[in-house]
Structure 1
Amino acid sequence: MATKRWKLKPKGSNWGEFGEDDQLGRLNLITPEKVRQGIAEVREGRTFCLSLPLDRPGGNALNPRRHPPVLRPTLRGEAVNFLASDGAAPDVLCDDLVIMHLQYSTQWDAFSHVGGRFDVDGDGVDEHVFYNGFRAGQDITGPSDPQDAGVRSGMKGESTSRAAKLGVENAAVHGMQGRAVMIDLRAHLGDGRTYVGYDELMRVMEADGVEVEQGDMACFHTGFGQRILDMAAPDEDVLHNACAVLNGRDGKLLQWITDSGVSALISDNYAVEGLPAQPCDHDHEMCSNLPLHEHCLFKNGIPLGELWHLTPLAEYLRAEGRTRFLLTAPPLRLPGAVGSPVTPIATV
């Protein structure tokens, strides 16, 4: 199926499956029926907040390009608009702003977060493209001058980059609410660094009787979020060498993601997949540094949730002999953003 944007599509991709202009990808599988299935999992009405405090993991040892949020008061004329009173009324007012790296803490990755170089025109020249063939420089734009990037003094809120297509706001409008399934890797693998491929994943799921059906959101509990909360200060060894990660190089695992019909992958670790990725198993073509991101975001329109706080929920579900729950997790409706903080709520 050729479209106005591409004649060829990457091997293993689902481009065009939901229409040539689709921006929701597998989120199309979170249907009203899937929402009702999630609601049917609610027995007690008990809720779990699945977000870390948004100033965690702390520092920038996990990713040197991302820093904790900065809260500042707004201005009231030339005065600080915090604990402010005009003296003529009893009101005391506080108003603030935040400078925030959107993917610093608990987050969703949008499809515009990771694209690829691929010859979509069939002319022998690779283009920079994203899910469903949307183009860099046309649909996803940004500055080339470092002066127009990062945080600098005197910022007045101007926008220099924008995902006119595939921005995170599409997921916000869709709702991001439905049935989710907990896969408890920590319970079987502990807190050591383990690259989890298809075979290991199937053993865990079989041992716990976990079933993932089309449209479900899959949550992988590794304990990493809890390790972050338990640290008094960021420990680089823990941040880079603890807990289970999915092995994005495992072709059988990627095929399971495709075949399962899963609508989103979520983990409490840094990137869902292991970074650095395992060595590439072939030399005749380029290998992505982020193979699971490539498979999910670029090829199949499957959003990734990272750095969630899953341990209390996972422990509750295990004690109750359950694996499914209602998940409500819309990102910010921030037009053009390639990722977003999120405060997910699980209801059981």
Structure 2
Amino acid sequence: MTGNPSDAPSPPPTGAGNGPAVSRREFDALFAAVRTWGHWTPADRGAWNRVTPDHVRRAAALVRDGTVIPLARPWDTAAGPDNSRPALHFMSDLGDVEAPEPTTHKDFLAVDYHGKAVSHLDALSHIAYRGQLYDGRPAGELVDSQGARFGSVAALGPLVARGVLLDLPTVVGNAWLEPARAVHAEDVAAAERALGVTIGDGDAVLLRTGSMRRRRERGAWNPDAASAGFHVDALPLLASRGIALLGGDGDSDVRPSPVEGVHSPVHALAITAMGVPLLDNLDLEALSTACAEAGRHDFLLLVAPLNVPGGTGSPVTPVAVL
């Protein structure tokens, strides 16, 4: 496969392959059921407030052999079906200007990182539903051309927590989940049993669908048209466990969306209702191998976003330590 757009799988209609379509009314009821507005101080750190020094100490105790695994995809400067806005990288100093020793070499980086190609963190200002950010804050008043005055990535800071890998392809015995495959609540519970891990309070949950392996073996496709990810019915289970962070090798949402009129319902539920930031577009293949070899699927996870006042998120290289 060459990564041609024509190689992309034909997406099923909304709801097909994901279970019955979810109505907007049903979705709004689900939104209300998992909502944690008014629960946290400071509110714009959302569920990251769950993670206390005790959580960090317990997470650090998971380091046993010291294996360090970066989880970010390479900086992607090539346009393709999953990268409509390539990142920029060019040299700004080649050391060829006469100057005192030592000479220097410098480069310039720029990126429109929200999308399908860059590993990044979504802050709480990234998603509004029905005009409201997390905690019921009015998006139109708090996010403008100068940035976000509530829920910015700068308010989050770094996260050190217990990470849990839900390695669904390993559980079902396939190399990857096919695009448009929905991960339901029962799949999450089955993965916990099969992998011998239980999601708990303050955890960072990472979903591996195998999309990076599929991309390497089959070529790129348009993940906006079809991608494996969580169905909305998995969110009440994750909410009940008190998670602090959700992410994966996609953008957490199954696509096509199973919800009528809502293109990214998991984003709305996690970020806007639950106050749970999202990690998108990770490469979890090396972590999958390391977890299988170690015989466990929990680890220390470190996430350090850029300190961008007013930013709606940040490119990031999360690190797992086993």
TM-score w.r.t. length of structure 1: 0.76
SS at match of 2:89: strand
Distance across 2 between alignment mates of 1:40 and 1:130? 35
SS at match of 1:201: helix
Contact 1:129 1:135 in 2 (8 A): yes
Query: Does residue 70 of structure 1 match 2:88?
Result: yes
Instruction: Give the share of equivalent positions with the same residue, in percent.
Output: 25
Distance across 1 between alignment mates of 2:46 and 2:229? 24
Q: CA deviation at 1:279?
A: 4.7
Q: 1:267 to 1:296 in 2, by over 3 A?
A: same
Counterpart of 1:48, as a letter, is I
TM-score w.r.t. length of structure 2: 0.82
Alpha-carbon RMSD across the aligned residues, in angstroms, is: 2.1
- When structure 1 is superposed on structure 2, of 253-262 and 218-227 the one drifting more is 218-227
In structure 1, the residue matched to 2:140 is 137
Please give the residue correspondences for 1:81-100 in structure 2 after superposition, counting only pairs within 5 Å: 81-86=93-98, 89-100=100-111
Query: Does residue 246 of structure 1 match 2:230?
Result: yes
Q: CA deviation at 1:342?
A: 0.4
Q: 1:241 to 1:22 in 2, by over 3 A?
A: closer
Contact 1:215 1:263 in 2 (8 A): yes
- Cα displacement string for residues 303-332 of structure 1 (whole angstroms, at most 9, x for unaligned residues): 111111111111211222111100111111
SS at match of 2:192: helix
Query: Does residue 212 of structure 1 match 2:196?
Result: no
Distance across 1 between alignment mates of 2:126 and 2:215? 24
Contact 1:169 1:332 in 2 (8 A): yes
Q: CA deviation at 1:29?
A: 0.9
More helix by share: 2
Residues matched between the structures, number: 285
- Cα displacement string for residues 178-212 of structure 1 (whole angstroms, at most 9, x for unaligned residues): 11111111112322232111112211221222201
In structure 2, the residue matched to 1:166 is 151
Contact 1:171 1:330 in 2 (8 A): no
In structure 2, the residue matched to 1:326 is 300
1:276 is aligned, of 234, 256, 262, to 256
Please give the residue correspondences for 1:178-197 in structure 2 after superposition, counting only pairs within 5 Å: 178-189=161-172, 190=174, 191=176, 192-193=178-179, 194-197=181-184
Q: Structure 1 unaligned runs (5+)?
A: 1-9, 75-80, 118-127, 143-160, 281-286
Distance across 2 between alignment mates of 1:339 and 1:299? 17
Q: Structure 2 unaligned runs (5+)?
A: 1-30
- Cα displacement string for residues 105-143 of structure 1 (whole angstroms, at most 9, x for unaligned residues): 1111111111111xxxxxxxxxx220012222322113x
Larger Rg: 1
Distance across 1 between alignment mates of 2:151 and 2:222? 35
Distance across 1 between alignment mates of 2:294 and 2:110? 41
Counterpart of 1:17, as a letter, is H
